[in-house]
Amino acid sequence: MKALWLIIGFTFTVMVANCQDLDTSMLVGKWKMSSYDVIDNVRLSDHYRSASPQVRERMDRKIARYIDNTFYHFTSQDSVFYTDLSEGTVVQKSASYILQDNGILVIKSEEGKKEKKAKVKDLTIDHLVMSPIGDDGKAKGEMILKRIQ
C-alpha cells in the first residue's frame, strides 16, 4: 500500500512539474530571435546543399537578415510591436496579444483580421522558446528568442 501511494505521489509530482504555469509578466520586454530550427533544416536540405555557391550565399544573406531582424517587444498593456519580412523588406508591425492558460500565445493584428499563434514551450527571465503554429494547427519548428531588454 505504501508503494502504491509513493508511485501515485511521484506521478503527481512529475505531472505538476510538466504543467509549468507561464507567468505573462515574464513575457513583457524586448526579445530577439537567436535561432529557428526550420532554418537549420533548410541548410540541411538537398536543395540548399546542391545549390551553387552564389545561390547558397544569397540564401545565407536572406536567412541572416531574417534572424538579425526578428524582434518582439511585448508591453504590459497586451500590445506587441514586432518586425516581419514582407517580400524581402523588414516591416514594423503592431498587434495585441494574449497568453492563454494552455501556453498558446495569440497575436492579433490591429485590424483583427489575422492571428498568429505559437505554443510557448519555455519562458524564463532571459529566453523564450516557442513553436509557431501554422494554419493547419501544427507546430512549425522551434524558435528561440533571447531577451535584449
- Is residue 132 within 8 A of residue 148, CB to CB? The reply is no
Distance CA 96, CA 4 (A): 48
C-alpha distances in Å from residue 132, one per residue of 17, 36, 38, 106? 23, 10, 10, 10
The answer to whether residue 5 sits within a structural domain is no
Q: Is 12 part of any domain?
A: no
Q: Is residue 67 part of a domain?
A: yes
| Within a domain: 86 | yes
Whether 6 maps to a domain, the answer reads no
Domain boundaries, position 83 = 22-147
Average pLDDT of the chain? 83
pLDDT cut 70: percent of the chain above it? 85
pLDDT in tens, 78-87: 899 999 877 7
Task: Please tell me the pTM assigned to this model.
Answer: 0.77
pLDDT top residue among 75 and 7: 75
* Contact predicate 117/127, CB 8 Å: no
* Domain-embedded: residue 88: yes
- Supply 8's cell numbers: 501515485
Give residue 2's pLDDT. Answer: 43
**Total count of domains within the chain:** 1
Q: Look up the CATH number of the domain holding residue 27.
A: 2.40.128.280
41 assigned to some structural domain: yes
* Residue 38 within a domain: yes
Over the stretch 30-79, which tens digit does the pLDDT of each residue have?
999 999 999 889 989 999 999 999 999 999 998 888 889 999 999 988 89
- Among 88, 40, 45, 43, which residue's Cα sits nearest to residue 66? 88
